[in-house]
Structure 1
Amino acid sequence: MSSLSGEAAARGAVVSRSCRVADVSYRAFLAARDAPRIHWADPDGLELSGVGDAATVTASGADRFEAVREWATALFDDTDHDGPEVARPRLLGGFAFRDDHAPEGTWSGFPAAQFVLPAVQLASAGDETWLTVTRAGEDVDPKAVEATLADAREEIEALPAMQPSGPRPGVESTTTTSDEAAWREQVERAVERIEAGDLRKVVLATALRADLADDLDPRDLLERLRQSYPSCFRFLVEPTGDAAFLGATPERLVTLDDDSVQTVALAGSVGRGDTPEEDAELAAQLRDSEKIRHEQRLVTDTIAAQLGAFGDVSVGERSVRKLSNIQHLNTPITTDVSKDTHVLDVAEALHPTPAVGGLPPDAALDVIRETETFDRGWYAAPVGWFDGDGDGTFAVGLRSAVARDRTVTMFAGNGIVADSDPNEEWAEVQLKFQPILDELRR
């Protein structure tokens, strides 16, 4: 069963009008308007910022992906847009890791699924920036939308093109949901399950709460992540203004463009070296480790099998993906799909990948529920956008955190297989907190 709620839903038209504008700071743009506020940037060069909502949908339950798709299909059935492709109206948002997620505690304000059609959107690709104003409903007047666009353009052109990041807030203290001894015990129990034969792999995660010395603007944190991790997908989702989910993730879940799907198997990690020689040695260890290669094969084979239901699958060459503080094994995977395939269909089929869940999926999810002492919320789940044609891009919400008041709760996990060493797994999971933790400390 699914619970679905939509505002300005499935009736009337979607009317949007666009114009080109000069470059503007997305942080200034987001700060100038009330929530909901959403930002998305990908290594392919697309950057989106959205404020306000012309339409919003939330869903929960086992068929939440399908429910969102059906709602969106009805919403976009009658669309009047006069701008270029880059400026087209999009729904931005994401899903929780589990379909029975409850929006409470750290995750208050974040339903099991939520997507927003921004009332005002900035879209940049290459050297062009486009402003789009959108309204949805039964009695939308195109001339009124054009007038609103003119007003919005005046406001946008008064904003700065550049805006310096504020100072790092400083970290007063940190608290883990599982200390090292508890983590070791969790890993050891998981390995026992794997050795017993009912589990092949499980991804165990933990959370780290940082209490800050000063106030934090989540948009400043996202900007610092952009500077440190320009090759990652970067996102900020702020449904109510009370909290923001943000991160810089290296992992693409799926891109659907026309009839072509792109995804990636990303698994296994080591740190970066202090010298080129040390860095190369660590990369060689990553490539040569039988444990890591085994883990990566599990992820690659499973994703390829899941995509096989949509079309012919092509698996690319495995390589080492280097980020500022970590290296991963990376295998690109592509599929040609039919014209009626929606990106949400593929996202649902892939989530959770073995890189964030495990194998077999049901057994791994049971272990996660029994073992983890915190709510994953939107961590390790699909976050991204899609349009009226069903094209779009979703990343996996890794290297991520929830910022609320003067606290930032970070999340990280590791894949556990038969020969996992608890000490090594603890060291590796701490490394994954660093992208955000380093940007908080003074």
Structure 2
Amino acid sequence: MESLGSGGDASGRGDAPLVTRRRELDAVSRRAVLDAFGPPRAVWTPPDDPSFVGWGAAATLSADGRNRLTQLQVSADRLFAHIDADDAPQGTRPRLVGGISFHDAHQPDPPWTGFDSARFVLPQLQLTWTDDSAWLTANAVGPDDPAAVDDRVEDALAEIEDATPSGRISEPPGVTSRKRCPSRERWREQVRAAIDRISGGDLQKVVLAQSLSVELERELSLPDVIARLDIAYPDCQRFLVQPGDGPVFFGATPERLVSVSGRTVETVALAGSTGRGDTTEEDEWLAAELLDSKKDIHEHELVADAVRTQLSPYASSVQTGQRTVRKLPTVQHLQTPITAELDDAEHVLTLVEALHPTPAVGGLPPDAAWETIKETEAFDRGWYASPVGWFDAAGDGAFAVGIRSAVAEADRATLFAGAGIVADSDPDREWDEVQLKYGPMLDALE
């Protein structure tokens, strides 16, 4: 495995060519591929763009500290400086996939073993599904013989053709025990303390999170848990990152952080929540109440205004769409699409750095919210509520916010969810909202 350190090449091969070869193939089951090939691996399945699975590591980039995304960009530019590639669709080009931690001072301690402060992998093999076909891409950094990459493609094709799903999608493994952090009473104290800060003028909003650690009856099957999320949450971004033989971070997030294609930027403001109704009438009543809720509209507009402000230094224009209700199986959100045209071409990592953390997962003002979160929460967020995604040699890419997510290993998992606290928040209502947000991961596990 080629290992590229932040801002430098640990192997001394930064000028080595990146050799990429591709083949088109017949339809293949992603579940079968996930079952056949081991870590490191990644899954990216957006609702309206090509999806891909990557496995193996042709190169690994990592960085830490306040300048971690700048360091990653420098390392990536070196990696992509010399590409020996055949012709194929744009979506099959080599890409780095991974993410960063919520706090830049994160340490990869359990349950986040292997999840550095920032870590991206160039897969050895990448399988991409476009509208009407599938493509296998093989990558190698500085191979002794470029023809060996062609051989790798052919060998992988043979393995993929032999891969078949192992029967029907299994039932969820089941949950035998749960441990919450914080307790309900401690949560009330945290929310009240945050409201006091808001009343004192230090804060406008802060997002406080909870963790839920569970023990499972059986070991988790990654192909099956992703298959269940695909069925239940087709309109969300499904993702999986497993950097090594240990834990895996996965989820079905409704929140796009940013996507960049050329000079076009797309993002969304997502904040303000309510539950789903037991009947159509109740559901519509809850949606109407959400659209008319002063508390939720205030929280939502804080997020939308901040996103527009964060994009404006880079954009010739920023356009805001209509605020609507986003309906998910267990929760409804206020959402507003936001698009921008850039003045100049910008790397997607530059915009990730400008936007993270959004007020939807951090708060306002950012520094005061950041400090409140670090002082209040009794667990490490790790990669929860952080940017997860991919980018290519052109600096194009797509990132989601890693919410509705869990980190798991063997028969244990830790789930995360949070709620935005503003001046008129009620601690018990916010507690109930967090429980709703555990729904996607709990449904996939029990």
Name the TM-score class by shorter chain: over 0.9
Give how far 1:166 is off.
Answer: 1.9
C-alpha contact (below 8 Å) 2:6/2:75 kept by paired residues: no
Say whether 1:285 aligns with 2:312: no
User: How far off its partner does 1:96 sit?
Assistant: 0.4
Query: SS at the partner of 2:37?
Result: coil
After TM superposition, the score normalised by the length of structure 2 is 0.96
Structure 1 residue matching 2:380: 3-state secondary structure: coil
Question: In the alignment, residue 47 of structure 1 is paired with which amino acid?
Answer: S
Contact 2:35–2:165, Cα closer than 8 Å, also in 1: no
Give me the TM-score of the superposition, normalised by structure 1. 0.97
The question of whether the paired residues in 2 share the 8 Å contact of 1:270 and 1:282 is answered with yes
Q: 2:423 is matched by which residue type in structure 1?
A: A
Q: Are residues 239 and 411 of structure 1, via their aligned partners in 2, closer, same or farther at CA, if it must alter by over 3 Å?
A: same
Deviation at 1:221, TM superposition (A): 1.2
1:85-234 map, 5 Å: 85-137=90-142, 139-160=143-164, 164-234=168-238
Q: Does the 8 Å contact 1:252/1:394 carry over to 2?
A: yes
Q: Within 2, Cα distance between the matches of 1:25 and 1:163?
A: 12
Number of aligned residue pairs: give it.
439
AA in 2 matched with 1:331: T
Matched, 1:387 2:420: no
d(CA) in 2 for partners of 1:59 and 1:10?
16
C-alpha displacement of 1:105: 1.5
SS at 1:208's partner residue?
strand
Query: Which residue in the other structure is 2:373 paired with?
Result: 368
CA RMSD of aligned residues (A): 1.4
Task: Judge conservation of contact 1:7–1:56 (CA < 8 Å) in 2.
Answer: no
Change (3 A) 1:140 1:383: farther
Deviates more, 1:230-239 or 1:162-171: 162-171
Cα distance in 1, alignment partners of residues 9 and 406 from structure 2: 27
Partner of 1:261: 265
Compared CA separation, residues 162 and 391, structure 1 to 2 (3 A): farther
Query: Is the Cα–Cα contact under 8 Å of residues 58 and 140 in structure 2 kept in the other structure?
Result: yes
CA distance in 2, matches of 1:391, 1:324: 31
After TM superposition, the structure 1 stretch with the greater mean CA deviation from structure 2, 431-440 or 407-416, is 431-440
Distance 2:71 2:441 in 1: 33
Shift of 1:6: 5.0
Taking structure 1 as reference, are residues 29 and 6 closer, same or farther at Cα in structure 2, changes over 3 Å only?
Answer: farther
Partner-residue secondary structure (3-state), 1:105: coil
Match of 1:73 among 72, 77, 90: 77
Distance in 2 between residues matched to 1:216 and 1:418, nearest whole Å: 40
Task: State the one-letter code of the partner of 1:21.
Answer: L
Q: Write the letter of the residue equivalent to 2:95.
A: R
**Contact 2:207/2:420 (<8 A) preserved:** yes
Report the Cα offset of residue 340 of structure 1. 2.9
Q: What pairs up with 1:303-314 in 2 under 5 angstroms? A: 303-311=307-315, 312-314=317-319
Kindly provide the amino acid, as one letter, of the partner of residue 429 in structure 2: E
Q: Which of 13, 19, 33 is matched with 2:23 structurally?
A: 19
Q: Hey, what does 2:361 align to over in structure 1?
A: 356
Equivalent AA in structure 2 for residue 182 of structure 1: R
> How far off its partner does 1:11 sit?
2.0
Q: Which residue among 329, 342, 346 is the counterpart of 2:351?
A: 346
1:422 positional shift: 0.5
Separation of aligned partners in 1, 2:306 and 2:391 = 24
> 3-state SS of the aligned residue for 2:361?
coil
Superposed, 1:403-442 pairs within 5 Å as: 403-441=408-446
1:385, 1:315 → 2: CA distance? 25
Q: Secondary structure at the match of 2:64?
A: strand
| 1:4 to partner: Cα distance | 5.2
The separation in 1 between residues aligned to 2:280 and 2:231, in whole angstroms, is: 21
Deviations 1:268-298 (A, max 9, x none): 1111111111110000011000000000000
Displacement of 1:49 in angstroms is: 0.4
- Whole-Å separation in 2 of the counterparts to 1:213 and 1:159: 27
Q: Which moved more, 1:30-39 or 1:114-123?
A: 30-39
- Closer, same or farther in 2 for the Cα pair 1:205/1:91, shift >3 Å? same
The 1:186–1:5 alpha-carbon spacing in structure 2 relative to 1, beyond 3 Å, is farther
Show the counterpart of 2:14: 10
Report which stretch shifted further, 187-196 or 154-163: 154-163
Amino acid at match of 1:195: S
Alignment match, 1:299 = 303
Matched, 1:58 2:62: yes
Q: Could you tell me which runs of 5 or more consecutive residues in structure 1 were left unpaired when the two chains were aligned.
A: none
The DSSP-based 3-state class of the residue aligned with 1:106 is: coil
The equivalent position to 2:47 in structure 1, one of 33, 43, 50, is 43
Q: Deviations over 1:159-211 (max 9, x none)?
A: 12786322211111111011111111100000000001111000000100111
Give structure 2 stretches of 5+ with no counterpart.
Answer: none
Q: Tell me the amino acid that sits aligned with residue 129 of structure 1.
A: A
Please state whether the residue corresponding to 1:61 is helix, strand or coil. Answer: coil
1:27 touches 1:163 (CA, 8 Å); kept in 2? no
Secondary structure at the counterpart of residue 126 of structure 1: coil
Give the Cα separation in 2 of the matches to 1:287 and 1:346.
29
Is the Cα contact below 8 Å between 1:342 and 1:391 reproduced in 2? yes
Residue 325 of structure 1 corresponds to which residue in structure 2? 330
Percentage of identical aligned residues = 50
In 2, the alpha carbon distance for the partners of 1:358 and 1:163 equals 45
Residue by residue over 1:301-347, the C-alpha shift from the partner in whole angstroms, topping out at 9 and shown as x without a partner, is 00000000111211111111111111100001111114430000000
Structure 2 residue aligned with 1:239: 243
